Structure 1
Amino acid sequence: MAFLQVNYYSKILGMDRMMNVILPELSDHNPDWRNETLKDIPVLYLLHGMSGDQAIWQRRTSIERLIRQTPIAIVMPSTDLAWYTNTKYGMAYFDALSIELPQKVAELFPQISTKRDKNFVAGLSMGGYGAFKMAFNGDQFSYAASLSGALMGDPNFPERETWQNAAYWQGIFGDLNDFIGSENDVIALAQKQAATKQQLPQLYAWIGEQDYLYQMNQNTIPKIRDLGYNVTYETSPGEHEWYYWDKQIERVLEWLPINYQQEKRLS
């Protein structure tokens, strides 16, 4: 696999941005691949959480090793601390990542598929929220996975009472009293998409039972499922930690409709 650090210009944000990309290539690890294998490659957009950036999945997990023998591209962008949202302070991060970024990937990497059934998105914590949000808007992604996702959409989610730094949150989402039912509420977004009768994305969610976002997921996932979405929802002992996300990203790869090959031992 090739690992690329890509600097590019975002017209929407008006500034240079960076994405990290893992790209399949012919090597001793996959000598049976043919040229056709490396055309129309599936892609997984992998989103970071609040304390991360475009490099964090590469640094904290085994993602590159896990896909070494699987022809899939991984695109890892950054949203800074903007919650994959068109912020109230005028920076359209959501549009930059959900619309502009796939166009930039298609321009720079023509071997990566633009087909909906080969475009997937996943993320952790803030990125889990971002993954579902992207999947509920438009028809870019056919599969979306949330690991320990901050799936905000229930008016009674207890974490809301502990939010600190009101100015920061209002800069992202606006008046927090208007959050429910807004363009940033994942349940409202799912309702809007389901009402269009278009093909709905397949969803996966995992949350650790000791995670502070556990109750949020317990409240939100059934509401999304009731709208007609096919949701694979799993829980197990675990906290809001990379130890668990490193394990769960392999579960996501197994769930995706790709020919996932576990790493073989090579001499």
Structure 2
Amino acid sequence: MAFLELNYYSQVLGMNQPMAAILPEQSGYTPDWTNDQLQDLPVLYLLHGMSGNQLDWQRKTEIERLLRQTKLAVIMPTTSLAWYTNTTYGLNYFDEFAKELPVKVASLFPQISKKREKHFVAGVSMGGYGAYKLAFATDYFAYAASLSGALIEDTNYPGFLEMEKPSYWRGIFGDLSRFPGSENDIFALAEKQAAKKETLPKLFNWVGQEDFLYEANQKAVSRLKKLGYDIDYHTNPGEHEWYYWSRRIEDVLKWLPINYQAEKRLS
């Protein structure tokens, strides 16, 4: 299993962007893998939350250990604090993720599959919002998972706006009164996608019962099911913390169609 840190130039953003990646390889853990078996690899994009970056998943979870015996590539990009969104201050992070990054990944890692059914995305908090947004607004991802995602219907959700100053939120989403129904409203995107009667992405959702986003996620799951989405929903005691997300990511790996091979924990 190889862990890589790299920088690439984003034409969309007009600046260098960091990215981390995990790639399966022949090693002492998997001596029976051949180069032919390490082609057309499924890929999971892991998205970070607020205050995080592309290294969160590697630093705060056991994602490398979990994947030592599984043929899955992982891409970990960063949106800084921009919510995977085309911001009003001119940085089009959504376009970078939805249009440019997949092409860049295909160029840098030709062993990664180009098939939609082998492309997955998952995220925590802000990244959960980003994962569903990318799944609903593009035809690139077949599976999307949200852990404690900010799956809000509007920006008046209790505690949401208090996380940052009003000027910050206007910089990200613009006029907040126009958020419902906009290109940043994941439910509007989900409705539009469902109306096309095309193959919908399969969804996974987990939220802790003590999380301030618990009610938002319950409503989101109900609304998405009514639209026809196949959503695997889970909840149990937990807060808005990496302590819980680091455990739930293995549930996501087991849910994905990747023949996940769990590594035994040391006793």
Q: TM-score, normalised by structure 2?
A: 0.97
Shift of the alpha carbon at 1:157?
3.0
- 1:203 and 1:139 map into 2 onto residues whose CA distance is 14
- 1:155 and 1:44 map into 2 onto residues whose CA distance is 29
- 1:151 and 1:201 map into 2 onto residues whose CA distance is 16
- 2:164 and 2:17 map into 1 onto residues whose CA distance is 28
Question: Which position in structure 2 is the counterpart of 1:31?
Answer: 31
Shift of the alpha carbon at 1:109?
0.4
Task: Tell me whether 1:208 sits opposite 2:208 in the alignment.
Answer: yes
Shift of the alpha carbon at 1:160?
4.6
- Please tell me the residue identity of whatever aligns with 2:41: I
**1:25 touches 1:38 (CA, 8 Å); kept in 2?**
yes
| Aligned pairs, number | 266
Question: Which position in structure 2 is the counterpart of 1:14?
Answer: 14
- 1:58 and 1:134 map into 2 onto residues whose CA distance is 22
Shift of the alpha carbon at 1:265?
6.9
Is the deviation greater in 154-163 or in 35-44? 154-163
- 1:216 and 1:174 map into 2 onto residues whose CA distance is 22
Question: Which position in structure 2 is the counterpart of 1:72?
Answer: 72
Is the deviation greater in 15-24 or in 217-226? 217-226
- 1:155 and 1:27 map into 2 onto residues whose CA distance is 48
Alignment of 1:123-134 (within 5 A): 123-134=123-134
Shift of the alpha carbon at 1:36?
2.1
- 1:134 and 1:184 map into 2 onto residues whose CA distance is 10
- Please tell me the residue identity of whatever aligns with 1:232: D
Shift of the alpha carbon at 1:158?
2.7
The sequence identity of aligned pairs, in percent, is: 62
- Please tell me the residue identity of whatever aligns with 1:140: Y
- 1:37 and 1:265 map into 2 onto residues whose CA distance is 26
- 2:98 and 2:252 map into 1 onto residues whose CA distance is 20
- 1:137 and 1:257 map into 2 onto residues whose CA distance is 22
- 1:97 and 1:109 map into 2 onto residues whose CA distance is 16
**2:41 touches 2:71 (CA, 8 Å); kept in 1?**
yes
- 1:211 and 1:195 map into 2 onto residues whose CA distance is 32
Query: Per-residue displacement from partner, 1:10-44 (whole Å, max 9, x unpaired)?
Result: 00000000100000100110112122210000000
Is the deviation greater in 107-116 or in 151-160? 151-160
Q: TM-score, normalised by structure 1?
A: 0.97
**1:154 touches 1:219 (CA, 8 Å); kept in 2?**
no
Counterpart secondary structure, 2:114: coil
- Please tell me the residue identity of whatever aligns with 1:211: D
Identify unmatched segments of 5+ residues in structure 1. Answer: none
**2:46 touches 2:77 (CA, 8 Å); kept in 1?**
yes
